[in-house]
Amino acid sequence: MQSSLTVRSARAEDAAGMARVHVRCWQETYRGLMPDAVLDDPGLPAFRERFWTAALTDERYRENRAAVAERAGELVGIAMSGPPLDAEAAWWARQLYVLYVHAADHGTGAGPALLRAVLDPAEPAALWVADPNPRAQAFYRRHGFVADGTTQVQDGVREIRMVREAQPPAA
């Protein structure tokens, strides 16, 4: 039996663990979509740790919401949202920047719990997701997101934008 999953707000001391989750999930998810040289770069964990340290401590990112999922004291998932980065898309309130869960923890509820922790259903939101990435795209569709036809290439990976209108409160 797996131990219970806890989702909580991320803290500065989580930065190293969040970096490990970020790198492992990139390796699990983007192998074949991103160059192996990027995924296997020995400097990637330190680079991601600097990113997470800044995201969790720098005043510039105070409007971001970051959360972690942990099981038995080990981080297994991470998420972060913040103000929209796309200037032309000011209609949505939040943008999901990051949501990663170890492949071994897919289907455990970690993904939906992390999504709820960083995105209020009452807020219209958007995100970018790798294409192809059918599993992630299906996950976001189940949570009310639809592709809006916008694409971009980020870090050599083709991405599609998915958007979600504010969800009515549950009755």
pTM: 0.92
In CATH terms, the superfamily for domain 5-164 is Gcn5-related N-acetyltransferase (GNAT) (3.40.630.30)
Structure tokens at 138: 């299906």
Q: What SS3 class is residue 75?
A: strand
Tens digits of residue pLDDT in 26-67: 999 888 888 899 899 999 999 999 999 999 999 999 999 999
Radius of gyration of the chain (CA): 16
Q: Are strands 125-130 and 94-101 parallel, antiparallel or unpaired?
A: parallel
Rounded Cα distance between 16 and 26, Å, is 15
122: DSSP letter: T
